Structure 1
């Protein structure tokens, strides 16, 4: 029974804001009340909250109040590690201290990740490795990998959490795999000899007794897809960075087959069943590798006879290994572990092969999954299969029996929530627009389309969309400059006119630049050219870890940082260190991107505009996220420079611009450069201690 004697959400928010030294923000108060209302009415809410709104506080306060009042747990999911760490290391500790008095006790919280993120004591002590590479026979060998594993053994004696993120500096993925297991591979706490001191189980235990559990979209997706729960029992989920939810869920639901993966499964199987049976799987994997090497990387609408035969051989050989392994020997922990590891690898290989064969059987217009072959430079080719859409999964498993709060600085595209609502599996509001509430139109229900009748109200998730705006005065604080005079971007790298434009903008800004590129190739080309043209320090993604590069960039106001996708989101550098954001081109997905192209074709087959629904919407989200790096506080000023003239000239340009913050706009390069020179001069006049 919920405790109704607690202070109201508005009262708690006022206490929290005062304790944290902030000021009242109307958008923050509106969002907090919307979250409270959603929790109380068991409805869902999508809140677009611009930078500076204080959305973390706006959802944490009502979430904590609900958890304390109802003696339950609330889950908060994020897309990025940076936001997870911000919540757990900064926001929640400060908020818990501020609300302890009004709530009568200190709110509690914990972070929970997938099992693979925690060190496995049993695997550590048995020395069981994922591969039979010579370097792994002795984990303490002098090889680079051996040194990393030896360091992990030393760290295991010191750590109290076993959380990979607490190991600084980190180790390679291959080294970490030698001391960790996936959920499929785990013996289970009740049967594992080390179950009583398992780090992953301890994290789950801790998470089951706190008010707020912070996790990530990947674990949220796994929890939704698996038959066993990974998250503690909860009735409210807050999905922060919700614009990234579909991509993260799709990534988790993507299967892969390669010769190396099949070989690893065969090696594991060889420890648990007759070697001759395992050898047949290894041979099938080799055959698959040879066929893939002769196949062009692309989306595969049909499997060639040879490729279909190779995938079928892998499927059947994996099934034969599973059959040969036989029943579990529960009295022998080591044998049980070997069996579990083998079945986990075999299950993934078998199930992904089944998915690939099934995906290409229906007529193209009716397909629900996409298959493609990739062959990155210096890597062996691999087959992939991914769902065309994940809305059905989210609708059934995420929105079915709990309240979901979705929030981000970017949720509306072209001024409406419709696009993301469809991707999430939510019904579209016929009259919905930012700031307006609504209920689904019965005609949007698939049942209604099928039989001409409206379904019962309970058949559809009920939700509202709300845009609480931003405290920023965008027209006075920022300029959107579109370089209309430049030629359209080409496929052969950055034209010299683009490099000249970037040079002139950075010189006007005196450095202070984050340059976002649509590919790593373009970022490196620009960095190499600009280092010879400007006098300011220039960092490029790949020179060091992304976190370290961002810290260096923020520490020196004259420094420039060039990079690609991971810098388009999550970079938070307030003040004069960042007064210019450059975007080299509209970030459309590549025309040959297998998943995006298949989704576009599917939309077109239903009579829709595939380009606008998929490519333009993808670009709009990413463009808005990139532009959002400019203004991080109400005192920030600067310019977003988009070098792609299509933003001003193409028919879809208006749709893309409607998704961006309402900056003052210009296509005059001298206006942009003059503004940057004034900002640079103003920043120079302000003593560093006063900033």
Structure 2
């Protein structure tokens, strides 16, 4: 179609139809996205809160899809943004653009198969056996009630999508009525394929102009030999600052005695007693090994580990081979049980092989994975687990995502140290350096409608003691109480650990005259609602609050950050990545730890201004931001707030805001 208006005209039409006003940053971003699609050149866009970035990438994406009859994939990190796009932005956009585009644009949401009810599993008795060592009688009873409710919901739901369930259920309960892609019988073998919720979602997606999915699905699509997402040439990645972490999570595998026990239970009568007993024995050996092994990264295999893992690998392979092909006429229930057993055996076998293969490479600088042992607590039960994750996902992204598609990456926080290069490296893109044109991608900071210098103060407490391991210093608690009192409550406290958040909550509740909510007291969404609804209420918490709070208006006037959010020094994966950069002649601390802290610090500071009328203070109570050599690097990623190190000026400003 050649008579479709250009992107600028479509954006003007849309903004007018939706009752909005023109925003220069939004126009600049939309124009850049359109150019990237036309030129087939990747684009990274930092678009601050209030820019209207969703419209800025959706309008050119929809125009391209309608004009070229090509599907555009939009990937997000969070369910909240998925819902915003599919329940608010895209329906309104579709209506607004129908006339100028000549037809109504179509959109769909597509998730991994495990997010949908499996009708074959619901209508059969195939279910995971309970892990008796982890679940007490009360827990099993609750699971039974939830599964009953899920079975009843099957007849009411049109989507079978877990996120559409009116009241949530535990992961364990959901696994009783869902399957992974490896456990699925396949459309040709399943008696419910025509009504399958996952297949219906895929068929709808294949006929859509825009598909909304998530970063995990992008990773699965990139790694899978099968086609999961419909053919596409353009991908928009929103919340792109989380892309690497989400891809890493999908590509991380684990091995534990409980894993082996579950595989053995699923194999059941499909293998001989001798084969099942051998596998159980291998699992017991693994459990003893992991209990005795030290926590943290494994640079080399502990004594006896190679033999135990090799034995487990071989016994899993023997069990898998013994199952054999399905006989003609096998009933669906038996076929489903067989598929689940084979899938679990295959998955665990492949993970063991991956671990052993990594240690076959003696040179640690040539390894592509990181292996570590951790201890997890489940309801006072301890599980010792071996995990393996990729040292980097840059290669995966470079060879799959960026080779096959034109990619637009956007977020409110993408620049670190004043440019996009730090994140570009983690995505597998060549840093701009001295040759932006030769890098194959463009970076754009679309700005923000906020007047940061007039709207907010950045206070760096250079006179406080540096944070240590002995809890929050008395002087820091004094300053917290003074600022909170001046603000009249209205405080979001962002802490580096749950222990620090709870300590501050307990000690400050006796010193201030307004409620302090702490993450963990209730569901996080409920706490955020209470915080937003009562202007005097304060909310303290950790990681999810650094990125998950959107409270415009007078309920939030002060964001307190207890310390620079560096990753834990005992984080095995980030420590290995830092060591790898050092070994290659780079600065591992700056590349890994400082970049991690800079992005999170910018996300935390971004909680303050959520509308153009918001005012307040971001207080960083860690003097290292002012005194350490890396402080300027971290500050370069923050919005251009008015800056001060004077606590009296901050208290006076907060008091003026409170009185107004």
Range class of TM-score, shorter chain: over 0.9
How far off is 1:4 after superposition? Answer: 1.9
The answer to whether structure 1 residue 372 and structure 2 residue 375 are counterparts is: no
Aligned residue number for residue 341 of structure 1: 340
The answer to whether structure 1 residue 467 and structure 2 residue 445 are counterparts is: yes
The answer to whether structure 1 residue 402 and structure 2 residue 380 are counterparts is: no
Alpha-carbon distance in structure 2 between the residues aligned to 1:4 and 1:421: 35
How far off is 1:271 after superposition? Answer: 3.4
Kindly report which structure 2 residues correspond to 1:228-247, keeping only aligned pairs within 5 A, or say none: 228-247=226-245
How far off is 1:132 after superposition? Answer: 4.6
Q: Which moved more, 1:589-598 or 1:124-133?
A: 124-133
How far off is 1:154 after superposition? Answer: 1.4
Contact 1:621-1:659 within 8 A present in 2 as well? yes
Aligned residue number for residue 567 of structure 1: 545
Alpha-carbon distance in structure 2 between the residues aligned to 1:543 and 1:9: 47
Aligned residue number for residue 635 of structure 1: 613
How far off is 1:532 after superposition? Answer: 2.0
Alpha-carbon distance in structure 2 between the residues aligned to 1:414 and 1:266: 51
Q: How many residues align?
A: 654
Match of 2:385 among 378, 382, 386: 382
Partner SS state of residue 237, structure 1: strand
The answer to whether structure 1 residue 72 and structure 2 residue 70 are counterparts is: yes
Contact 1:135-1:145 within 8 A present in 2 as well? no
Contact 1:489-1:585 within 8 A present in 2 as well? yes
Q: Give per-residue Cα distances to partners, 1:185-224, cap 9 Å, x unaligned.
A: 0001221111121111111111111111111111111111
How far off is 1:430 after superposition? Answer: 2.0
Contact 2:293-2:302 within 8 A present in 1 as well? no
Aligned residue number for residue 451 of structure 1: none
Contact 1:278-1:321 within 8 A present in 2 as well? yes
Alpha-carbon distance in structure 1 between the residues aligned to 2:205 and 2:546: 31
The answer to whether structure 1 residue 533 and structure 2 residue 511 are counterparts is: yes
How far off is 1:46 after superposition? Answer: 0.6
The answer to whether structure 1 residue 415 and structure 2 residue 418 are counterparts is: yes
Match of 1:486 among 459, 464, 474: 464
Normalised by the length of structure 2, the TM-score is: 0.96
Partner SS state of residue 299, structure 2: coil
Q: Which moved more, 1:490-499 or 1:343-352?
A: 490-499
Residues 532 and 329 from structure 1, CA distance in 2 versus in 1: closer, same or farther, beyond 3 angstroms? farther
Aligned residue number for residue 249 of structure 1: 247
Partner SS state of residue 399, structure 1: helix
Select the structure with the greater relative contact order (CA < 8 A; seq sep ≥ 6): 2
Partner SS state of residue 544, structure 1: coil
The answer to whether structure 1 residue 524 and structure 2 residue 502 are counterparts is: yes
Q: Give per-residue Cα distances to partners, 1:273-294, cap 9 Å, x unaligned.
A: 2232122112111111111111
Q: Which moved more, 1:492-501 or 1:366-375?
A: 492-501
How far off is 1:492 after superposition? Answer: 2.8
Alpha-carbon distance in structure 1 between the residues aligned to 2:654 and 2:104: 47
How far off is 1:531 after superposition? Answer: 2.0
Alpha-carbon distance in structure 1 between the residues aligned to 2:405 and 2:391: 25
Aligned residue number for residue 445 of structure 1: none
Q: Which moved more, 1:15-24 or 1:112-121?
A: 15-24
Contact 1:388-1:595 within 8 A present in 2 as well? yes
Match of 1:430 among 415, 430, 433: 433
How far off is 1:336 after superposition? Answer: 2.3
Q: Which moved more, 1:104-113 or 1:175-184?
A: 104-113
Q: Give per-residue Cα distances to partners, 1:619-645, cap 9 Å, x unaligned.
A: 001100111111111111111111111
Match of 1:624 among 588, 602, 613: 602
Alpha-carbon distance in structure 2 between the residues aligned to 1:669 and 1:271: 71
Q: Which runs of 5+ in 2 are unaligned?
A: none
Aligned residue number for residue 453 of structure 1: none
How far off is 1:31 after superposition? Answer: 0.6
Match of 2:589 among 587, 611, 636: 611
Q: Give per-residue Cα distances to partners, 1:136-190, cap 9 Å, x unaligned.
A: 99x9998111111111111112111111111122011111110010011000122
How far off is 1:133 after superposition? Answer: 5.3
The answer to whether structure 1 residue 476 and structure 2 residue 454 are counterparts is: yes
Alpha-carbon distance in structure 2 between the residues aligned to 1:347 and 1:133: 20
Q: Give per-residue Cα distances to partners, 1:573-607, cap 9 Å, x unaligned.
A: 11111111111111111111101110111000010
Q: Which moved more, 1:520-529 or 1:200-209?
A: 520-529
How far off is 1:571 after superposition? Answer: 1.7
Partner SS state of residue 404, structure 1: strand
How far off is 1:389 after superposition? Answer: 0.5
Q: Give per-residue Cα distances to partners, 1:80-114, cap 9 Å, x unaligned.
A: 11111111111111111211111122222111111
The answer to whether structure 1 residue 156 and structure 2 residue 134 are counterparts is: no
How far off is 1:134 after superposition? Answer: 7.5
Report the aligned-residue RMSD. 1.8
Match of 2:102 among 101, 104, 118: 104
Contact 2:490-2:558 within 8 A present in 1 as well? yes
Partner SS state of residue 548, structure 2: coil
Contact 2:376-2:385 within 8 A present in 1 as well? no
Residues 197 and 673 from structure 1, CA distance in 2 versus in 1: closer, same or farther, beyond 3 angstroms? same
Partner SS state of residue 235, structure 1: strand
Alpha-carbon distance in structure 2 between the residues aligned to 1:529 and 1:122: 54
Alpha-carbon distance in structure 2 between the residues aligned to 1:69 and 1:570: 36
Aligned residue number for residue 301 of structure 2: 303
Contact 1:431-1:438 within 8 A present in 2 as well? no
Aligned residue number for residue 287 of structure 2: 289
Contact 2:131-2:262 within 8 A present in 1 as well? no
